[in-house]
Amino acid sequence: MPVLNISVSADQLAQRMQDRLRGLNSASPVTVLWIQQNSSILIHIDSLKLRVLTGWVLCSLDLECDATGRQTLQFVFYLGAPGLGDGLRAGSTINAATPQAAQMADVWGAAIQRVLWDAVLDALEAFLAQAASQNPGQPLAIEGFQAAPNVLSAAIIAGDK
């Protein structure tokens, strides 16, 4: 049973995150307004900075609302490193450097974190699609995923265990 190692670059992952933040807006705006109940936030998509380090994906993103002005939030995902926690689990947190950023994170942080994480899941889904095209008709399973400098990768098992 072959194990396939498939990866995506940090730049490709950042593009997926920006696309997710834009949603269905195909015009590729640099800012998007999100509204939920009585709250709205302007997301500066062009401010997204992504770093993929050994074990970690770090995303900085500027958000803006009337009450806080423009603030930067950092979304941190631990994905495991080669040979160290590179299974099927991940952890995440949100860092807010100012009280205004913390206020913004309280209202919008979980929703934005989920959208960024969905981009990581999109990459894993693309990995499975690539593995399926290389191994037609074979059952597939993700053995684990990991972050290494400038790359997100996954080990996919093709065939019966």
For residues 23 and 93, the model is more confident at: 93
Written as one string, the DSSP assignment of 137-161 is T--EEEEEEEEETTEEEEEEEES--
pLDDT above 70 coverage of the chain, percent: 98
pLDDT at 26 over 70: no
For residue 100, give the nearest of 66, 63, 74, 71 by alpha carbon.
71
Token duo for residue 76: 């941190």
Query: pLDDT tens digits, residue range 66-122?
Result: 999 999 999 999 998 878 777 888 999 999 999 999 999 999 999 999 999 999 999
Going through the chain in order, the beta strands assigned E by DSSP cover 3-9, 31-36, 39-53, 56-65, 69-78, 91-96, 140-148, 151-158
Give me the chain's average pLDDT, please.
Answer: 92
The mean pLDDT value for 137-147 works out to 91
